[in-house]
Structure 1
Amino acid sequence: MNVLTGRQLGRALLARQHLLARTGREPAELIHHLGGLQAQAVPQPPYLGLLSRIDGFTPERLTALLEQRAAVRIALQRGTIHLVTAEDCLTLRPLLQPVLDRALRSTYGARLAGLDLDALGAEARALVEAEPRTFQQLGALLAATRPDRDPAALAQAARCLLPLVQVPPRGIWDRSGPAAHTTAEAWLGRPLERAPALDDLVLRYLAAFGPATAADLQKWSGLSRLGPVLTRLASRLVAFRDEHGRVLHDLPEAPRPDPDTPAPVRLLAPFDNLLLSHADRTRVLPEEYRGRVMTQNGIVLGTLLVDGLVAGTWRLTGGQEVAVRPFTALRPADEQAARAEAQRVLDFAGGGGTVRFEPVDGER
């Protein structure tokens, strides 16, 4: 079984994520390919995630998808909010229901003990389909008939029991709004898929994030016990090992570029799934930098990629400034490329503004 180095894995991942070369694909097509974009923070991450991957991308192209109900924001992988196409919402939500069930039991189980969850779900569905509600509003309404229960726990139970989408203007670039919810069925006018195939989910993950281990797949999705699925798919896959001896699964025809393929400087969006979709993130995120990118309170900062690896962080503030903070001194060519990427973000945000490089630690 051939061994793939960390650099080979990194180049394969960047190629599949369109971070070696930007694509001209339509936003909806790329969102589908990526299995969605993490979108719990609003509104920047999905927009900036597409900007880093698509030539000529403008905010209006994603805003139109949200307003036309061709894309939605809904809790999916790992129980977190993702922006996905309407079709993927109807397919992925049933497949990932076990993730939401587990979250409900582990976080709110004691506060919901003895509660008729079927009745709660039916009442919550009627309330949000009558008009979109925030969780604060929904919890208060559900608690009116259950005065001995915690309204926040009731609202979160509804979030796990029902496929709740956040309706615009929530998540719209330069607008946003309160996180008001209705059901996917009501918003899209179609039912959830009755019997989506877990095999398809696994193959799609490998197309966008492979080669990968079973643990990687489980980290991305939040699902458990996926080893048997990979075993069932073995005749359609190829296998490798990484430098630690772990078995990697992949699609035979998926790109695995030469490890010496140049990787251009890129600015990754905050919460980019490139950093969140493997149990072993070191193919793109050196372990020594992990704590500087992923904070203790669950924030994942925007990151600077140099030669295919995280080499710093960045942030867009008020649409007027991009501040880049390298972890080590950059070569002049890499700093120039990072400055060009930062200017590209400013142009996307409306033009004007400044690019500022913060000093490397120890250089103040």
Structure 2
Amino acid sequence: MKSNNDSSLPVINQRELNRALLARQMLLQRENISSMEAIERFIGLQAQAVNPPYYALWNRLENFQQEHLAELIIHKQVVRIALMRSTIHLVSTRDALALRPWIQPVLDRALKGAYGKHIAGVDLQAAAAAGREILETAGPMTLSDLGKRLNEQWPTVDHDALGAAVRNSVPLVQVPPRGLWGVSGQALHTTIEAWLGQSLSLGTVAEALLVRYLQAYGPAAVKDFQAWSGLTKLRDLFEHMRPRLILFQNEQGEELFDLPDAPRPDSSTEAAPRFLGEFDHILLSHADRTRIIDDSDRRRIITNNGLVKASILVDGFVAGLWTIQERGNTAVLNIEPFHSLTSEQRQLLKDEGERLLRFATDGALQFDISFADQAND
């Protein structure tokens, strides 16, 4: 990463980076656009669990309701599929078909890292072809069941490894009811071609994707785009695009790229509290995440096994955790701040928290908001 302290480049400080990110993520104020428009603006939503995409949209859109997203899933306008960083994302069908071939190297590397020893000697092309045929003939199934079916041809190979080999080699989508709010059940997979009746888009997407990434997450360094995608060796792409971009440097002297007309609000711009759901994509889309979360707090949000807890934003930065408990007819929002809150911040969190409870709970007659004692002023 370039770090030359080039005095000719304007410096953009941490708070300015924070406000630019919040503006592009619709977290300074909710916007009146459709769920599909938002999903495509962010190039997908992180979706390891079912509910996080709903919270992501609720935080960013005016009058969002769960059925707005559920209908997109049911009608095959968006799909759940392994993409960036080899993790499950909820993306538009158009993006799924275009991004899946581009991200293949990430999936190959992830498979080798997790199951390399288990699949040594396995003809992955043959396993992928066999897995595709099973799914497209027998219908959607879990990866575990798929792996057990493949054990008929590869009896000595771990069935979970075989299922993962197909998942990372063949474009598989998770079919509903997986992904629907309030509906539980295992993740059943089939091929994207069988689900959508369309083939993958084989044209390059790198330049257009970089523009879209900067629109949603910039200003950003090369390492940020690489961290978001999981791909490596993308410096040449940035160099090719350099004439179309403007440059800054952060306070450490690292070169940051951006679009000339992208929003970059003043650092004094007010940012209302927000309740981010688990795995919110804003916390996972940069190598340097200090624009949204302090390094000292990061390990309290992102665990060693890859879980990303639900968090609160105060003044634009991660400032604590939240959970919801339902006790009979009462829904309780538990807030655990990492640092002392002012009385005004506490009241703003209560106001936003009650809106969260009304969105997230069904049938509750009373709402209660509790702050962890150790963080009380």
Confirm or deny: 8 A CA contact 1:339 1:355 kept in the other structure. Answer: no
Please state whether the residue corresponding to 2:282 is helix, strand or coil: helix
- 2:235 aligned partner, one-letter code: G
Q: Per the alignment, in what secondary structure is the counterpart of residue 336 of structure 1?
A: helix
**2-structure distance, mates of 1:53, 1:307:** 16
Equivalent position of 2:222 in the other structure: 214
In the alignment, the residues of structure 1 paired with residue 323 and residue 133 of structure 2 have an alpha-carbon distance, to the nearest angstrom, of 41
- Partner of residue 194 from structure 2, selected from 183, 186, 205: 186
Asked whether the 8 Å contact 2:36–2:92 carries over to 1, the reply is yes
Which is worse superposed, 120-129 or 13-22?
120-129
The question of 1:88 aligning with 2:95 is answered yes
Matched, 1:239 2:250: no
Normalised to the residue count of structure 2, the TM-score between the two structures is: 0.93
**Secondary structure at 1:144's aligned position in 2?**
coil
Indicate the residue corresponding to 1:226 in structure 2. Answer: 234
Q: Does 1:118 align with 2:125?
A: yes
Superposition RMSD in Å: 1.5
- The counterpart of 1:73, out of the listed 52, 74, 80, is 80
SS of residue matched to 1:278:
coil
* 1:327–1:361 contact (8 Å) kept in structure 2: no
- Contact 1:171 1:177 (8 Å CA) reproduced: no
The answer to whether structure 1 residue 142 and structure 2 residue 155 are counterparts is: no
How many percent of aligned residue pairs carry the same amino acid?
45
Instruction: Indicate conservation of the 8 Å contact 2:338/2:375, yes or no.
Output: no
Distance 1:351 1:266, change over 3 A: farther
User: Distance in 2 between the 1:363 and 1:30 partners?
Assistant: 36
1:47 aligns with 2:46: no
Return the alpha-carbon distance in structure 2 between the equivalents of residues 118 and 323 of structure 1.
Answer: 49
Once the two structures are overlaid, the 10-residue window that deviates more, 196-205 or 72-81, is: 196-205
1:268 corresponds to: 276
Q: Within 5 Å, give how 1:1-364 maps onto structure 2.
A: 1-41=9-49, 43-130=50-137, 131-317=139-325, 320-349=331-360, 350=362, 352=364, 353-361=366-374
Cα distance in 1 between the residues matched to 2:253 and 2:199 = 44
**Are the equivalent residues in 2 in contact too, given 1:329–1:360 (CA < 8 A)?**
no
Q: TM-score, normalised by structure 1?
A: 0.97
Return the alpha-carbon distance in structure 2 between the equivalents of residues 78 and 317 of structure 1.
31
- State the one-letter code of the partner of 1:327: F
The aligned length equals: 363
Quick one: structure 1 residues 289 and 192, their matched pair in 2 at CA, closer, same or farther if it must change by over 3 Å?
A: same
Q: Is the 8 A contact 1:94 1:196 kept in 2?
A: no
Question: Which structure 1 residue ranges, 4+ long, deviate > 6 Å from structure 2?
Answer: none
Q: CA deviation at 1:351?
A: 5.5
